[in-house]
Amino acid sequence: MEASDAGQKSIEHLTEISVTCSSQEQELRSVENWNSKYQKQTLETYDEAKCVRLFSRFKKNGTWQVRVKVALQEKTPILEKCCR
């Protein structure tokens, strides 16, 4: 949220969104050794109202999530099959 409030117009990775939308955000941010237990906790403590406020703020600030572009240097047969 700080980056959006500071004027950042795009965010590539939304990896912290699940923590920001948790009712236990402060506790989860203090975790040093992150593991699947804490990821599960973020999902179990999802707070819809917090998430709505966050995305409303993004909208107000004109901040968008953008996809990460991956450029392939050389095509391989497997990529040709799966990624047409």
pLDDT digits (tens, 9 = 90+) for 18-71: 899 999 999 999 999 888 899 899 999 999 999 999 999 999 999 988 876 554
With cut-offs at 50, 70 and 90, classify the pLDDT of residue 11.
confident
Cβ–Cβ under 8 Å, residues 23 and 49: no
- Map tokens 């700080």 to a residue: 2
What is the predicted pLDDT for the residue at 82? Answer: 46
Say if residue 13's pLDDT is above 50.
yes
CA–CA–CA angle 8, 54, 70 (5° rounding)? 50
- Compute the distance between CA of residue 60 and CA of residue 62 in angstroms, rounded to an integer: 6
Cβ neighbours for 25, distance < 8 A, ≥ 6 positions apart: 19, 50
Instruction: Supply the pLDDT for residue 28.
Output: 94
